[in-house]
Structure 1
Amino acid sequence: MFFASDNAGPAHPSVMQRVAAENTGYAMPYGADDTMNEVRTQIRHLFEAPEAAVYLVATGTAANALALACYCDPWQTVFCSDLAHIQEDECNAPEFYSGGAKLSLVAGGDKLTPDALRSRIAAEETRGVHGPERGAVSITQVTERGRVYTLDELRALTAVAQDFKLPVHLDGARFANAVVALGCTPAEMTWKAGVDVVSFGGTKNGCLGVEAVVLFDPKKAWEFELRRKRGAHLFSKHRYLSAQMAGYLTDDTWLTTARAANANSARLAAGLRAHGAVFVADPDANMIFAQFPRHVHQRLHDAGAAYYIWDGTLEGSDPQEMLTARLVCEWSITAAQIDQFLSYFE
């Protein structure tokens, strides 16, 4: 049983098979491989964006930081949730790759609201040369608390950005999970909703390690290429990134894995509710934040059930104290594993 992270799961067989098939003969390096041409065509078709610039990197941090650097000058600031991955988990990479642009945090938790975003943007460019200029808006979909913005919520946020003539970045590390949850198309959740650049995640959803950056303005392409090379994220044996993404996209594997992960999470959430767990937020995709008593956490820990205690410690005098767990499902978890995990609540 392993619910610590969807980063911890195996790669999907379709991805592995495509990587193995790629591992013969020779291919041009640095993204000039034929498979990358295939991937570029697939992603442009998927996003209904025939002119989009498409690039691959190996990590989500690289995807987010390089994308934002293309849309934010060093003297500007990126507006994001105070729980956003670029704030909490990327060791100042956006600041580093942009050459010094800061992050302006929008208080209120994992989900931005139009009013809070507008207020935070309006608070900048009020100090002349002594303060940062307004830069990009970054939205995380799925959020860091497992919730999904509806299309109307996305459009409301991008409308605020457009009022200030600011670009919008979408951190889509769990992009596929959000698409499945909303029942929408990639285009509807990105450029049709006002998004300028998206990090289209693969690693958490069945790949070995690959993320696509999709820039809907092709004028940004050369700048991204320069930043990727200068930032040491241009792979020489790029075909192995291309092969992963090709396997991920072929026959809608990316949707198959996301549907499985979301369904696994729904099964786990239903079981937790039945056992009286309290949810920090209603889980919309494949990530759950739930509270249950310390003694249950201890029982799960002793049984070898792997997960993160998100808030609090196993040690404590009150066995009934409610502690929060972060439980993440990925595509390969079985119903039997979920049911076994839930059996420790009985």
Structure 2
Amino acid sequence: MKLSRIAEILKCELKGDGDTEITGVAGIDEAEANQLTFVANPKYIPKIKVTRAGAIILGADAPAATIPTLVAPDPYVTFAKAIEIFYQPPKPLPGIHPTATVSPGVALGDNASIGANVVIGEGSRLGKNCVLYPNVTLYPFVEIGDDFVAHSNSVVREHSKIGHRVILQNGAVIGADGFGFAPQPNGPYYKIIQSGVVVLEDDVEIGANTCVDRATVGETRIGRGTKLDNLVQIGHGSRLGEDTAMAAQAGVAGSTRVGNRVFLAGQVGAAGHLTIGDGVVAIAQTGIARSVEPGKIISGSPEMDFNLWKKNYLLMLNFPDLVQTVKHLKKEVEELKKKLAERE
């Protein structure tokens, strides 16, 4: 495809030869003469001069490149859209595989694709264009909107409610029992029935082997547009706001309230029954033990302001030298005391 056509599709300003033929996209280190690449992170700017790519996507404030350039307000998002020009994942044909089990009373929307060994429980309702890959299980009385995609081995438990354009990656579990056990004096834990539901709003994506537990009572809710990476744990009764993201191995304990546009990096953990305000960013491995005000950037365990954490971290690196200095000073003080005592 000619670069000029790509520029037209992506609504970018074209600088350079629009007749350049592009057959695919690649990262800046791997791109070849027939591929389109991009730079969004400033640390990669020096590579603009040495890339082998045939064309590049840059922001308006980036240094000029010697190869044909597409100028975009957001090079990262534009590159994501460029990928779609050259690759679309295979989509299964509509229909119900003969090994699938569709229980009585199930309502399937138009154009559904139900794969091998799928099980759909009684009373469930699915919108149009739903795709259930092999070995997906939907428990009874699930409600699902349009354009739902569930990859192999994902599970949606009873009474869960899922909006439009939701994606479940492989092995995701929606609506498993929350971790609810009441201790008894001198006896075993008493299992608390988890009678609540899980609600996934529109445009949510749940990563592979991620678990969103059902509430004891009420609901666990994931807000519109929120994205959960692989191996994320959402405790029962928690609520995540809109356009929030959690990276791999992050988790929130039960009844946590997470605001809109929050980012929890990898292995962040939050104790239960607290609130994380809108726009909070938690650096990887942060341990959140108390509520966090909106807009904060936090790090460390227990959590603290990121700038304070950086200062503490630098002090920690210098701590061994500091200990030696204190020991040396202590020795000098003892020697001075001894000399003063001798003079007296």
Please tell me the TM-score bracket, short chain as reference. under 0.3
Which is richer in strand?
2
TM-score normalised according to structure 2 size: 0.20
In our comparison, the structure showing a higher alpha carbon Rg is 2
Q: Which has the higher helix share?
A: 1
Higher relative contact order (CA 8 A, sep 6+): 1
Give the alignment's TM-score, normalised by structure 1: 0.20
